[in-house]
Structure 1
Amino acid sequence: MNTINITFQFQDGQPAQTHVAAEGESVLDVALNNDIQLQHNCGGVCGCSTCHIYVLQGDDELPEISDKEEDFIDRAVNPRINSRLACQCVVQAGGNDLVVLMPPQDFLGH
């Protein structure tokens, strides 16, 4: 099974963490499996914007953003061009490592 590394960087000053992700896992799955706090009010089904992250490296290796995901990102706090929903960032076969920036978790989207 193919794996990649996901490096989580934090805006609140926590040290970065790198964890292994298997093909088919989402960034949200990897965060939760490694006790990284990441809001996910809809349960990770692309039904809200609370798992909003910024992809700093490896975005070309992720599935293309859907219209539905784009609509929810527009509702997120401080969306940027590199914004994604962690539940939709699924590791693909043969992908490169990812680096993501976690927004502060005291602000929730919709």
Structure 2
Amino acid sequence: MPQIIVLPHASLCPEGDALDAISGASICASLLAAGIELDHACEMSCACTTCHVIVREGLDSLNPCTETEDDLLDKAWGLEPQSRLACQAIVDGTDLVIEIPRYSINMVKEGH
């Protein structure tokens, strides 16, 4: 079973975490199943950027980005070449290291 290592995030995962991922499920679904409350305002339908993550290790093992995901990522806060929408990035058998950006578009709109 692959692992997702989550780097520390001040409010969502202050100590960081290592969790067993579900092969064939999205990064977002795996994080939520482990109790890490990653924002996903569009209910994982690839219609927003609130689940934006940066894949620090294991990016090549994920399914390719769709054109829709690429277009949405252009609007994400803190975009990097390793950025993915966690709702669209499907885990295979490879371990991943991810970083949750400090802000999402939703956090800024709601004044967090």
Q: With the length of structure 2 as denominator, give the TM-score of the two structures.
A: 0.85
SS in 2 for 1:99: strand
Deviating above 4 A after TM superposition, structure 1's stretches of 4 or more consecutive aligned residues are none
Report the equivalent of 2:105. 108
Contact kept? 1:8, 1:100, Cα under 8 Å: yes
Query: Which runs of 5 or more structure 2 residues have no equivalent in the other structure?
Result: none
1:23 offset after TM fit, Å? 1.5
Report the equivalent of 1:96. 94
1:96 offset after TM fit, Å? 1.6
1:10 offset after TM fit, Å? 2.6
**Could you report, residue by residue, the CA deviation over 1:27-85 in whole angstroms, capped at 9, with x for unpaired residues?**
10111111212110110011111100000000010001111101111011111111100
Report the equivalent of 2:5. 7
Q: Distance in 2 between matches of 1:22 and 1:50?
A: 21
SS in 1 for 2:90: coil
Query: Which runs of 5 or more structure 1 residues have no equivalent in the other structure?
Result: none
Partner AA of 2:5 in structure 1: T
- State how many pairs are aligned: 105
SS in 1 for 2:105: coil
From the two aligned structures, give the one with the greater strand fraction: 1
Q: Distance in 1 between matches of 2:9 and 2:32?
A: 18
Q: CA RMSD in A?
A: 1.7
Partner AA of 2:3 in structure 1: N
Contact kept? 1:61, 1:96, Cα under 8 Å: yes
Q: With the length of structure 1 as denominator, give the TM-score of the two structures.
A: 0.87
Partner AA of 2:31 in structure 1: A
Contact kept? 1:39, 1:108, Cα under 8 Å: no
Identity level (%): 32
